[in-house]
Homo-oligomer: A and B are copies of this chain.
Amino acid sequence: MRKVAVIGVGCSKVGELWDKALKDLSTESSLRALDNAGMSKIDSIYVGNALALTLLNQGNIGTTVADSLGFRGTPAISVEASDASGGLAFHEAVKSVAAGWSDTVLVTGVEKMSDASPAQVAKALMSSEDQEYTAFTGVTVGGLHGLILRLYLTRFKVKHEDIAFFAVNAHKNAVNNPSAQFRNPLTVDDVLNSLLVADPLRLLESSSVADGAASVILCPLEKAKKFTDTPIEVLASTVATDSLNFVEHEDLLTFESTRISAQKAYAEGKISPPDIDLVETNDSSTIMGVIALEDLGFVEKGKGASLVKEGDIAIDGKLPTNTMGGSKGRGHPIGATGVYQLVEIVKQLRAEAGKNQVANAQIGLAHCVGGMGSYSVVNILRRS
């Protein structure tokens, strides 16, 4: 298998973009990535999208993205794994280049959520859980996050304010990200005094409805220098599943799919957690981010909150996390998020992250989660 590199990145702004359709967003970010790679043609396209079928009744997403970009004829493969769709699209694209099946691949994650009503979005988000069991109870994704937050606070005797800092860190980083949805700083008090979503989960520790698209261009590492002075190597790319029903997880506060995919990724990349210079992970709510850092192996179970509280996840901390704002600050256009994470890591590894630059960043890990941890994709990138 060939080694693979990222040679171009681009994205649209994240937000409630009333004047832009799904096709406008995917085209905008794809063209920016092509431009960034100095390229006008590609062999094939991978698309990550989670909700176009439910919210827009738009299927055939591969064709939708290829055609609006002006690439009729080009193979375009659309994958779905709820919030992890973007990371999965990248994973499949990496395989295609590694296999020698494609030489230049565009990966675009795209989501258009703001055209639907809040009730439609709430129902659509629950599509990641079992419709015959968890969803049937009427619980929402916010409700499930509230449930594990309460369990975490109780079992590990952690204060809510420690975890709330995850959102404060995210907003702080989003201030300097021109593509971010929320560029206002937050305090822990702001978070803890915001509206209740599902007791004890608060509004300002949960990601919001968002539209957006992000894209990267891949090619074999050996050819990457033709396109860029700073190719970013794909060191590992892994996927794992768990039970679809959240309540069937062996432990509600451990996401097995994350543990499996992370361990496989470290083995594949011949590295271990201390080698990672920065992390982009799912913080669709604060508690999801905390659990992720534990299951990725950065800290033992139950200690994630201390990592957050002590500032280790800040840009100048030991484990800079969600350096461009994460799902909370940059925004969480579901199926696009996994590709946004990769765009942001590439910018860090190229030392193009501006005021949010992590000093001497060499290796970055992107982690996205589908459902309540029932799906996980880990991608690890290294400055080549």
A residues lining the B interface (CB < 8 Å): 1, 21, 23, 44, 50-51, 53-54, 56-64, 66-68, 71-82, 88, 91-92, 95-96, 98-101, 123-124, 126-132, 135, 238-245, 256-257, 260, 370-371, 374-375
In the assembled complex, the Cα of A81 lies from the Cα of B54 at a distance in Å of 15
Partner of A242, one of B73, B91, B98, B135: B73
List 16 additional A-B contacts (Cβ < 8 Å) besides A58-B127, A67-B374: A51-B59, A53-B80, A58-B130, A60-B80, A62-B80, A63-B371, A63-B375, A64-B130, A67-B242, A74-B241, A76-B239, A77-B239, A78-B81, A79-B80, A98-B99, A99-B100
Q: Which residues of B contact A88 (CB under 8 A)?
A: 77
Q: Which residues of B contact A96 (CB under 8 A)?
A: 95, 99
| CB <8 Å contact, B54 and A101 | no
By a CB distance below 8 angstroms, the chain B residues around A78 are 79-81
**Counting chain B CB atoms within 10 Å of each CB, which of A96, A241, A243 scores highest?**
A241
Residues of B within 8 A of A244 (CB): 60, 63-64, 67-68
A60 to chain B, nearest CB (A): 4
Across the interface, A101 reaches (CB within 8 A) one of B53, B95, B128, B371, namely B95
Q: Are B60 and A374 in contact (CB under 8 A)?
A: yes
Q: Is B241 touching A62 in the complex (CB atoms < 8 A)?
A: yes
Copies of this chain present:
2
Chain B, residue nearest A128 (CB): B60
Q: Chain B residues near A68: list those with CB within 8 A.
A: 244
> In the bound complex, what is the Cα–Cα distance between A128 and B131 (angstroms)?
24
Roughly how many angstroms separate A249 CA and B156 CA in the complex, as a whole number?
A: 61
The chain B residue sitting closest to A83, CB to CB, is: B60
Residues of B within 8 A of A51 (CB): 53, 59
Most buried by B among A63, A132, A256: A63
**Is A81 in contact with B58, judged by CB distance below 8 angstroms?**
no
**A108: min CB distance to chain B, Å:** 14
Beyond A75-B240, A76-B241, is A63–B374 a contact (Cβ under 8 Å)? yes
Chain B residues whose CB sits within 8 angstroms of the CB of A242 once the complex forms: 63, 67, 72-73
- Inter-chain CA distance A75–B241, complex, in Å, is 6
Return chain B residues, CB-CB under 8 Å to A56: 131
Contact assessment for B57 and A126 in the assembled complex, using a CB-CB cutoff below 8 Å: yes
Partner of A77, one of B21, B71, B79: B79
Asked if A80 and B95 make an inter-chain contact with CB atoms under 8 angstroms apart, the answer reads: no
A61-B80, A95-B95 are contacts. A67–B243 as well, Cβ < 8 Å?
Answer: yes
- Considering the complex, give the chain B residue whose CB is closest to the CB of A61: B80
Which of chain B's residues have a CB closer than 8 A to the CB of A74? 240-241
Contact residues in B for A132 (Cβ distance below 8 Å)? 21, 23
List of B residues within 8 angstroms of A72 by Cβ: 241-243, 256
Residue in chain B with minimal CB distance to A264:
B75
CA distance A54 to B56 in the complex (A): 10
> Which residues of B have CB within 8 Å of A1?
99-101
Sample of 21 A–B contacts (CB below 8 Å): A1-B100, A44-B239, A54-B54, A54-B59, A57-B123, A57-B131, A60-B82, A60-B244, A62-B81, A63-B244, A63-B375, A64-B130, A67-B244, A74-B240, A75-B241, A78-B79, A79-B79, A80-B80, A95-B96, A96-B99, A98-B99
A73–B374 CB distance below 8 A: no
The answer to whether B131 touches A73 (Cβ under 8 A) is: no
CA distance A227 to B80 in the complex (A): 31
